Structures are given as C-alpha cells and as structure tokens.
A and B are shown apart, each in its own frame.
Chain A
Amino acid sequence: MTTAAVVKPSKPWQASPRQRLNSALVYIAAIMTSYLIVAITPMKGKLAYAFVFFAAFIVFDFALNLFSRGFPVAKDAIARAVVAAGICVAVFPILSIIATVIIRGYHGLHIGLFTHDMALNSVTDPVKQGGLLHALTGTAILVLVALIISVPLGILTAIYMTEIRGRFMKPIKFLVQAMSGVPSIVAGLFILSAVVYPITKGYSGFVGSLALSILMIPTVARTSEEVLLLIPNDLREAGVALGGTHWRTVAMVVVPAAKSGLVTAMILGVARIAGETAPILLLTGGGDKVNGDPFHGPMGSLPFYIWKSYSVGTPESITRAWAAILVLLVIVLVLFVSARLLSERRSSK
C-alpha cells in the first residue's frame, strides 16, 4: 500500500523568496543612492533625501520589473510607487500636526488649566498661572445651545429626505449641500447683521451659538440622512402593516432603530463646530471669566483663547495657545473616536 504524498497547496500568487529579496534590494539600493547623491551634490535637507529616494526607487523598481517581467509590469510598478507617494503626502501633514501639537502643547499642561480661569491673569503671565476653565465652560455652553437649535432641524431635514421624500427633495438636498459650503465668516456676518445690530446690540454666547448652528445643521442633516437610508425598508413596511400611521412608524420604528447613528451625527456635528473660530471672534466677545449665562455678557471659548494667546505673541502666550490647542485636539479626537465606535457597533449588528 502506497501512501499518497500530501501535496502542499502551492500559492503561485505569493511572492517567491527571490522576488522578496529583489524588492528588498531595490529599497536598499534606493536608500544608498539617496545618501550618496545628497552627499556628493550640493542638494541638502530632508526634502532632497525624500526626493532622491523616490526617484531612485522608481528607476530601480522599473529596471527590475522591466528585465524580469516586461514593460507593462514595469509601467504598473511606476504607478504603484507614485500612488503610494500620494498617500504618504496626504497623510504626512496630519502626523506632523498631531506630533507638533503634542510636543509644543505638553509644556503648557497643568492641573490648574481645568480649575482656574483667566480673570486674574493675563496671557503673558507665567504658564502655570490661570487656566482654561472659562474657555472650557464657554465652549461647552456654545456647543450645547447650538446642539439644541440644530439637532431638531437637521434630523427633521433628514427625515424629510428619507421618510417623506416629498416634492422638494432634490432642491433641499442641494440647499443642504450649499449650506455646508457657507464660509464660517459669512455665518458670523449674517448673525451680526440679522441679530446683533438690530436686536441684542451686544456680544453674548447665544448669538455665537446661532452662527455655529448654521454650520452644524448641514453636517447633522447629511449624516442623519445617510444613517436613515441604511434602515432596511422591511422595518418601515412592518410598521405600516401593523397598522401604524406614518407618524407612528417613523417615531416608534425608524428613529429608534437609527438611534445610535443619529447620536453619531450629533457627535460629528459637535466636532465640526467645537474649534470653529471666525464667527466666535466676531460674535462672542471672549471674556476671561467663567460666564454661565449664554444670553448676557461676553463668553470665552477655546478657539477665542487660542486666537488671543497666539496674537499676543510672547513665548508664554504661545505656549498657552499650544496647550489650549492640545486640549481642543483631544476633545475633537475623543468625539471622533466615539462616533466611529458607535457607528462600528451599529454596522456589526
């Protein structure tokens, strides 16, 4: 009796050791070439290294593929390298931004940031004095009021687009799109001309929130619309088949099913406006004291504090600006990650 030899399945699409060696050699050759060329020519700096490495890599990779597999594959290899360079250029700034903010903002962090405001300090004082309390509470109030205004309007728009699908669906889709393109400074000017000059005649947090809601509504509306479109039609049909009216079907079946998605939409809306600066500069007045009343008096906020500290321009104030940006960045990151987690949980269900 002969035992059949167990044939190991071959994987012809996988790179052979020889091919791996070759591509590793291409990398090494490109790195060495870039060092060599930068050393012997007057070019210098990180840009020169990156550029020469990229050029050398393309040349070597092209040559290798040309000799081993022919011209079309070599052309494909060039395209692969260029596309990879594209994603590197696109992602590099974000890494640089995050690294910069952490490195520069780290020095300005201290526990007093969350317990003190700047009522008794100016931004040029030593970094350990004063804090961000007024800015944090201010931003929280601004965002909260903007949420109260824009979430109902945004979700109603989304429900119109997905549940009612009325005559004005296309124009409204365009208008929401156009609204998301309104420059933030124009939103600020509008509130200035429509509310501040004729009615309130002074700075307050509330008018700032009004401007922020203009920027927030489109984000909430578009994200909610996407979420509601994901709700399977079976649910709506089941609701109607059970004798529910349109209103009950939407309110008791569709919206609860999309709950976590709608929360995601709100979070993304908050992330959109938390750092919005231009309308805040025009409208809120930016006080240095904790102000819990959105309707009266100037209200501080993180963007305003960053702007003010940056404009003063002393080393202390710039450290303060970076510390505040670090706090703002952490807030945006937390909001963004929680929105992601929520929507992931939804899609895995």
Chain B
Amino acid sequence: MSQALLSAAEGAVPAKREITTKPRFSDRVFRAVVSGGALSSLIILGLIFFFLAFQGYSVLRSQGIHFITSSNWQVVQDTAGNVDPKHTQFGIAAMLIGTFLCSLIAIIVAVPVSVLAALFLNFYAPPVLKKIMVAVVDLMAAFPSILFGLWGFFVLMPSAEYWAKLLHHFLGFIPIFKVDPPIFTRSPFVAGLVLAVMIIPIITSVSREVFSQTPLDRIQAAYALGATRWSMIRAVVLPYGRSGVVGGAMLGLGRALGETVAVYTVLNIVYQVNWHVLLGAGGNVASMILLKFGEAGPQEIKALMAAGLVLFLLTLLVNLGADLVVRRSGGKGR
C-alpha cells in the first residue's frame, strides 16, 4: 500500500529536507553566553593574580627572595616622612611559619576526628541519627568564621589553656612544647584547635562522600568471609577511601591557611619566628594583613598586597594538590 501511495505522490515529492548538525543561531548565542559565564572563574582568578602582582611588584622586586625568607618588617622613614627604600624591609617568613604551624596543628587534630566521624556516619549510625548528624555537620560548615573566633576566645580558650598546661607538664621536655615565659593563652595551639573545629565539617563531609562510594559488593564479600565490621572497614573501606581522605584533608588545609578573622581573634600576633606551639605568640599571613592594614602607608599596603599574592598562590597550590589527589581516588582495596 505504501508502494502505491509513493508512486501516486511521485509527481509531488517535496525537496529533500536538509539534515543538518549545524547549530542554529539561537544555539550559538546560547553556547557563547554560557561559555562566557563559565569562563568567569578563570577571568576572576586571573585578575586576582594580575592585580595583586601589579600592586605588589615593586615590593617583590626590591625585596627579592627575602620577602619570604626574612622576618623583618620595618618601614623606615627619613626626616621628611618619606619612606626610605634602602632600609625599609618587608619579610613574611615569621608569618608563613606561623601559618603552617597553626594549619598543621589543625590538620593533626581534625583528620583523625573527621575520619572517625565519617566512619560512624556511614557504617555505625542508625538512619535517623545519621540524617540528623549529617545536617548538623553541614550546618557547622556554613557557620561564619567570626563565630568560631569569638567562641574560641571566650569558651575554648580557658579549657585549651588548661590542656596546654597539661601538655607542657607532661611533654615539656620536647622542644616544641617549651614555654618560656609561661604565657599559655592566645597561642598557636589554641588557634590550631579553633581551625580544627572549623575544618572538621569539611573533611568529614568529603570523607563521608568517599566512604559511601565504596562498592557494596566488596563490603558484602568481606562480611560473607566472616569479617567483623572493623575488619571490613580496614580491609575494604580505608584502602578504597584513602586518597579521598587525603584530598579532603588538603581542602581543609586550604581553608585553614587562609583563615583570617578566627585566627586574629584568638592568636596573639607577634612578629617573630615562634616554633613553640604552646607559647602565646605567633601569627598567620592573613591575620597579619588585617592587623597591619589599619595603619599602613602606601608602600606598606603594596607589601601587604604582595603578602596576599603569596597567600593566594599557596592556597591555589594546595587546592591543585587536593584536586589531583581526589581525582585519583577510588583505589583497589585488598
């Protein structure tokens, strides 16, 4: 029948429709706009780098490598009040060391706690409790940093001071726990604890996500072989999620490195190299910028911009590392 129809209509076959994969004009505009919007992150990051480098260039050039290796920060003025470029020194080594010290303490405290919490949420918690706890942890990640700062100053500090004294009492023979003179408040230790509280939710949620992707068949295989819950976790979950946990820890590290207000509130910012974690003196780059910004002259502002550039590159590097590690996650397991 279709044959007949075809032959009947043979005389009036419309021109063959062109089949095209070329996008229409509206689609091309759509793609251009969306791609442009998506490139905003590249543009913004590029602009941040460009402007901070532009402003900090003169300082970076005059100080050279000393900007990150020396710990002198002094603006020398001549009698007319002009900045004397010969003797003015800007070096942020002390603050860089302080940044690493605080972040390291935070990571050391936060990673075990977060991994345990993530394990609990995934493999131990009853469903209702899990739902509540996940919401609570996520909520904590949304808390503003000034809240952590004030809580750290008024609530955590008295307890932390006591813990610091305990540490000093029992482990004082280890050089980094030496405290001289005996000032235990506002130390890098306390700042590290506050930072730990701030990054626990981040590391917990990343670890939880990674652990929950563990293949179910492997988990069940482990149970079928007679594993207890803990031996299942050790044999299957931890090997599978290890690199994800490392990536989460680096994300947390990135946040801890750049934290400003919380550190500023709890830490006694003193411009010196201080390895003694329990001693009440230290600093980090971000809080130093905030501290010095108030009374900074034009030349010093440029130095602060350069410090901001260093901090920016540092967090970028850490995030790059985290990205590479997380992307590699999902190992074999035993």
Contact = CB atoms under 8 A, between A and B. Distances in A.
Interface stretch (A6-14, A32-40, A150-158): A150-158
Contacts, number: 267
A293 interface: no
Given A83-B120, A184-B258, A221-B41, A190 B150 contact: no
Interface in A150-197: 152-153, 155-157, 159-161, 163-164, 166, 168, 171-172, 174-179, 181-187, 189-190, 192-194, 197
A332 B45 contact: no
Nearest to B48: A190
Interface in B272-329: 286, 289-290, 293, 304-305, 308, 311-312, 315-316, 318-320, 322-323
A193 B308 CA distance: 11
B285 to A, nearest CB: 9
Given A47-B159, A185-B289, A178 B34 contact: no
Contacts of A221: 41
Contacts of A91: 117, 133, 136-137
A181 B254 contact: yes
A172 B144 contact: no
B37 A160 contact: yes
B150 A186 contact: no
Contact of B119 (A83, A97, A182, A185): A83
B82 interface: no
B260 A278 contact: yes
A245 B113 contact: no
A5 interface: no
Contacts of B137: 90-91, 94
A82 B116 CA distance: 8
Interface stretch (A108-116, A256-264, A269-277): A269-277
Contact of B38 (A79, A160, A272): A160
B146 interface: yes
Interface in B141-192: 142-148, 150-151, 154-155, 159, 162-163
A250 B229 CA distance: 46
A159 B34 contact: yes
Nearest to B255: A181
B192 to A, nearest CB: 14
A321 interface: yes
Contacts of B140: 93-94
Interface in B213-232: 228-231
B39 interface: yes
Contacts of B29: 247
Contact of A166 (B35, B254, B305): B35
A201 B119 CA distance: 52
B24 interface: yes
A54 interface: no
B233 interface: yes
A27 interface: no
B243 to A, nearest CB: 16
A47 B160 CA distance: 11
Interface string A134-157: 000000000000000000110111
B260 A183 contact: yes
Interface residues of B, number: 91
B161 to A, nearest CB: 12
A163 B29 CA distance: 14
Nearest to B304: A189
A136 to B, nearest CB: 15
A77 B132 CA distance: 24
Nearest to B228: A76
Contact of B230 (A76, A86, A157, A177): A76
A97 B194 CA distance: 12
Interface stretch (B51-59, B64-72, B85-93): B51-59
Given A100-B154, A184-B258, A275 B34 contact: no
User: Which of B40, B254, B286, B304 has the largest count of A CB atoms less than 10 A from its CB?
Assistant: B40
A322 B150 CA distance: 9
B265 to A, nearest CB: 7
Nearest to B288: A185
A336 interface: yes
Interface residues of A, number: 91
Contacts of A275: 143-147
B129 to A, nearest CB: 9
A161 B119 CA distance: 31
B127 interface: no
B135 A340 contact: yes
A346 interface: no
A250 B30 CA distance: 10
A185 to B, nearest CB: 4
B81 interface: no
Contact of B147 (A101, A163, A192): A101
Contacts of B117: 86-87, 89-91
B148 A97 contact: yes
Interface in A53-81: 72-73, 75-76, 78-80
A167 to B, nearest CB: 9
A153 B43 CA distance: 12
Nearest to A184: B260
A281 B286 CA distance: 13
Contact of A282 (B121, B200, B251, B293): B293
A174 B40 contact: no
Contacts of A164: 31, 34-35, 38
A300 interface: no
B301 to A, nearest CB: 8
Contacts of B147: 97, 101, 275, 325, 328-329
8 contacts: A79-B233, A83-B120, A90-B117, A172-B39, A176-B41, A177-B319, A278-B260, A321-B150
Listed from nearest, the 7 A-B pairs whose CB atoms lie closest are A275-B144, A86-B116, A183-B258, A156-B37, A160-B38, A79-B230, A247-B30
Given A96-B155, A100-B151, A184-B258, 14 more contacts: A86-B119, A93-B197, A156-B38, A157-B37, A174-B323, A186-B286, A189-B308, A193-B51, A193-B54, A247-B27, A271-B142, A275-B145, A278-B286, A335-B142
